[in-house]
A and B are shown apart, each in its own frame.
Chain A
């Protein structure tokens, strides 16, 4: 298994990977809670970006409504915890099942009826918005007045109930990110990964080669939805409150996909690199503005937008393929 995972990774890449992991593992000893909080956001974006990448980067299906899976996952686990005292790790199973089922429904409808490209993207937005308004009226989970998880005291870390300090959440998120990375690596190297890439490059050709494109696209959406739901569970227990306007909103879907596209769509490192760059950029800009005594609400977002614009214009394939090329690390795929 391990051997298979490492298969095809060049030596220098392996060294970089090991170094990165060591740094991330050691981070809580050197970083203060603020840096840790930012790192949690980085890992969270890297994880969700990776999950989204399965669908878009690997199988070529553009989803602009991934917030629906975060929301369903978060609400499912939180509702089970609050109403029935079900621990989040058990709730996670239900959360993943619900989100995956929802993904399956969306995928089935879209792929059966031949909805593709921009139309598929709009369809995913429509479902996410539908869910947002639906949850705004869903009394059992607080409707639009929000759903609050009880906040236990923080004197000790309770991993089973996901109650604890940022360090615990950091390691949970790190474990999830590493797991997602490993899963995606294995998938890309397996038959299913090659089928996905064939579909992404040319669906008609893939079908004529005898690939059951419907089935493999369904695998992609179900897996991506399930993985995203895990992030939703984390979100619910980390922030301890859920508002439909926050979790289902289209802006959350957009945030989620900026990382992998900027980082390098379809690559394993893309989502991680994108998350690191974008979150780092955002925080650095905040620091800079504060240092310049420029307290102008909106200025940060303008610069952020300009940076996005420049990157997407200069590096159409994303940052990681370019960096990897420069460093002579040919990534696992590109």
Chain B
């Protein structure tokens, strides 16, 4: 009996962590290159979640199939945001960027409130309540799908930045802004592409997340904060870092919930974050800033 619950909670924490990682990876992509901390990250994800709900309720489109289309829509949104509004702020101080994105978050959250009302929305798919029995283990089916998607998406991103010419160009921009300008890269376009790419991750994650979490217009800040903890723990700018951070936070919260009072479990993630910031500020898999 006792061993079973530890195992179940550990597996559940691991899967939740993978989903967390997927949720956070977009933030990491954007920061890693554009060096802007996207404080509207959670609100962008709520946009994706509402879109997934509208598509499901209106056209019966399963969020799992909509992962790619929604990523494309959010890509466009992210590209437009960066090219239209954020780009002049690249060279401005952090607090200026912060206000810009907080203002955007405020607008998004309240437009969603006006359009969709305050009530929590969700989708009910035929597999919403499924779970797999593996010996003594009970595995949440939706979380398992989302976890698998996390691995696929981050692997694809990792591959893109490592091997694709465009990905390499973006990394060159991130490593050396002036250098990139000198060799003739269109930095503005590359930044917009990167922001779009980060937003696309947000879109994919939102589409998966809607299967697990009910969305309200006020959900954004909580998602933003959680994504922060994860990417900083794992290493801002590192794709595998985001996944590792997600898994670490997921497991920490699950174990803290099991051994201590669950209402205080996020205290442990904040404690973990503080420790990482102090002893390895670049995050577990992050590169030391030069």
Q: Do chains A and B touch in the complex (CB under 8 A)?
A: yes
The reply to whether A129 and B270 contact each other, CB–CB distance below 8 Å, is: yes
Q: Is B1 an interface residue (CB 8 A)?
A: no
Q: Is the CB of A118 within 8 A of B94?
A: yes
Of B37, B85, B264, B273, the most chain A CB neighbours within 10 A belong to: B273
Tell me if A21 is interfacial: C-beta within 8 Å of chain B.
no
Indicate if A115 sits at the interface (CB-CB under 8 A): yes
A184 at the interface (CB under 8 A from B): no
| Interface residue B102 (Cβ < 8 Å from any Cβ of A) | yes
Q: Pick the residue among A122, A134, A298, A313 that contacts B85 (CB under 8 A).
A: A313
Q: Does chain B have a CB within 8 A of A121?
A: yes
In the complex with contacts A133-B270, A134-B267, A312-B100, A126-B277 CB distance below 8 A? yes
Question: A299 contacts B96, CB within 8 Å?
Answer: no
Q: How far is the CA of A251 from the CA of B221 in the complex (A)?
A: 9
Residue A137 interfacial (CB < 8 Å): yes
Asked if residues B228 and A122 are in contact (CB atoms below 8 Å), the reply is: yes
B residues near A129, Cβ cutoff 8 Å: 225, 266, 270
Complex Cα distance A316/B100, Å?
10
Compute how far the CA of A112 lies from the CA of B176 in the bound complex, rounded to whole angstroms.
Answer: 28
CB neighbours (8 Å) of B98 from chain A are 62, 64, 121, 261
Q: Mark B81-109, 1 if CB is under 8 A from A, else 0.
A: 00001001000101110111011111101
Residues in A neighbouring B118, C-beta threshold 8 A: 297
Closest to B114 in A: A298
Residues of B within 8 Å of A308, CB to CB, are 99, 102-103, 106
Residue of B with least CB distance to A257: B95
Complex Cα distance A99/B221, Å? 26
Q: Which residues of B contact A136 (CB under 8 A)?
A: 263-264
Residues of A within 8 A of B104 (CB): 305, 309
Residues of A within 8 A of B266 (CB): 129, 133
B contact patch SS: helix
List which A297-319 residues lie within 8 A (CB) of chain B: 297-299, 301-302, 304-306, 308-309, 312-313, 316
In chain A, positions 13-68 with a C-beta closer than 8 Å to chain B are: 56, 62, 64
> Are A250 and B94 neighbours in the complex by a CB distance under 8 Å?
no
Residues of B within 8 A of A56 (CB): 95
Give, as a whole number of angstroms, the nearest-CB distance from A130 to chain B: 4
Cross-chain contact A312 with B113 (CB below 8 angstroms): no
| B73 lies within 8 A of chain A by Cβ | no
Q: Which residues on A sit within 8 Å (CB–CB) of B88?
A: 313
Q: Which A-chain residue is minimally distant from B278 (CB atoms)?
A: A113
Is there a chain A Cβ closer than 8 Å to B274's Cβ?
yes
Contacts of B229 in A (CB 8 A): 126
* Chain A residues within 8 Å of B232, by CB: 119, 122
Question: Is B290's beta carbon under 8 Å from chain A?
Answer: no
Interchain CB contact under 8 A, B111 and A302: yes
Q: Which of B85, B109, B271, B277 has the most chain A CB within a 10 Å cutoff?
A: B277
Instruction: Determine the interface band of chain A, counting residues with CB < 8 A from chain B.
Output: 35 or more
Q: What chain A residues lie within 8 Å of B94 (beta carbons)?
A: 62, 117-118, 121
A218–B51 Cα distance when bound, in Å, is: 47
* Chain A residues, Cβ within 8 Å of B113: 297-298
Which chain A residues border B110 with CB–CB below 8 Å? 298-299, 301-302, 305
**B99 contact from A118, A130, A133, A258, Cβ within 8 A:** A258
Complex CA–CA separation, A133 to B269 (angstroms): 11
Residues on the A chain within 8 Å of B92, using CB = 316
**A300 to B, closest residue via Cβ:** B110
A296 within 8 A of B: yes
B281 close to A (CB within 8 Å): yes
Q: Which of B100, B274, B278, B279 contacts A309 (CB 8 A)?
A: B100
CA distance A297 to B218 in the complex (A): 13
A257 proximity list for chain B (CB < 8 A): 95
Q: Is residue A77 contacting chain B, with contact meaning CB distance below 8 A?
A: no
Residue A265 is within 8 A (CB to CB) of chain B in the complex = yes
Query: Is the CB of A123 closer than 8 A to any CB of chain B?
Result: yes
Q: Which residues B216-272 have CB closer than 8 A to chain A?
A: 217, 221, 225, 228-229, 232, 261, 263-264, 266-267, 270-271
Instruction: Verify A299–B277 contact, CB threshold 8 A.
Output: no
> Is there contact, CB below 8 Å, between A137 and B274?
no
User: Closest chain B residue to A144 by CB distance?
Assistant: B263
Q: A122-B232, A261-B95 are in contact. Are A250 and B221 (CB under 8 A)?
A: yes
Q: How far is the CA of A136 from the CA of B110 in the complex (A)?
A: 27
A288 at interface by CB-CB < 8 Å: no
B221 touches A122 (CB 8 A): no
Tell me the complex Cα distance, A313–B87, Å. 11
Nearest residue, chain A, Cβ from B232? A122
Distance (Å) between the CB of A277 and the closest chain B CB? 13
Please name 5 pairs of A and B residues whose Cβ atoms are closer than 8 Å in the assembled complex, sorted by A: A110-B277, A113-B277, A129-B266, A297-B113, A302-B114
Across the A-B interface, the 3 shortest Cβ-Cβ residue pairs = A305-B106, A308-B103, A305-B107
| A-B contacts besides A117-B94, A304-B106, A306-B107, 20 pairs, CB < 8 Å | A62-B98, A109-B274, A113-B277, A114-B281, A119-B232, A125-B225, A130-B274, A133-B263, A133-B270, A134-B267, A297-B113, A298-B113, A301-B109, A302-B114, A305-B106, A308-B103, A308-B106, A312-B100, A312-B103, A316-B96
